A = this chain, B = another copy of it.
Amino acid sequence: MDTSEKQLFVKMVMDAWNSSLKRTDALINSLTDESLGKQVSAGRNSGTYLLGHLAAIHDRMISLLRLGEPLRPEFFEWYVATPEKKNNHEISVSELKNYWMEVNAKLNAYFIQMPPEDWFQKHNSISATDFEKEPHRNRLNVMISRTNHMEYHRGQLAFLKNE
């Protein structure tokens, strides 16, 4: 594969990721802790739960992309595997915000030093045999789907802003 073409494609995908992350950060930082604690819509998840959820999904990307170990794997149990109503863990907004920033900084530190070719290697949830047949299931594909996931919840978090 031609490196300059790979670079082009990586740029397309990473620009979308960075743009979504920048907008999500700006939204979160524009909200008070009190606003973030409210349900995004009546009877739905709170902003703090969604923040924990996004951070835990991003943290899980570290191992999914085969870059290292998640920083706080227990958050996946609390904010992804467990719905908010059954989540008994009282994490402060400031701790959630710090976790969110740390996870994204950690990912970015990996991303900025990754050569374009490496993005087209397999992610951690597919076997080497299956990857031979399905080369689209690579690390960069994880970025596409996680950007979509972030946008899905950013659309919901946006309801916490005053009109």
Chain A residues proximal to chain B, CB less than 8 Å: 1-2, 5-6, 8-9, 11-13, 15-16, 20, 40-44, 120, 135-136, 138, 140-141, 144-145, 147-149, 151-156, 158-159, 163
Contacts and interface: CB of A to CB of B under 8 A. Distances in A.
By DSSP majority rule, is chain A's interface helix, strand, loop, or mixed?
Answer: helix
A155 to B, nearest CB: 4
Contacts of A6: 5
Contact of A144 (B16, B44, B163): B16
Contacts of A120: 8
Contact of A5 (B2, B13, B153, B155): B2
Contacts of A8: 120, 135-136
Among A40, A136, A153, A158: residue with most chain B CB under 10 A: A136
Given A135-B8, A159-B44, A163-B43, A13 B152 contact: no
A20 B144 CA distance: 12
Contacts of A147: 148
Nearest to A156: B155
Contacts of A11: 136
Nearest to A6: B5
A152 B9 CA distance: 23
A148 B5 contact: no
Contacts of A158: 156
28 contacts: A1-B2, A1-B5, A2-B5, A5-B5, A5-B6, A8-B120, A8-B135, A8-B136, A9-B9, A12-B138, A12-B141, A12-B144, A13-B144, A16-B145, A16-B148, A20-B148, A40-B41, A42-B42, A43-B163, A44-B159, A147-B148, A148-B151, A152-B152, A152-B155, A154-B155, A155-B156, A156-B156, A156-B158
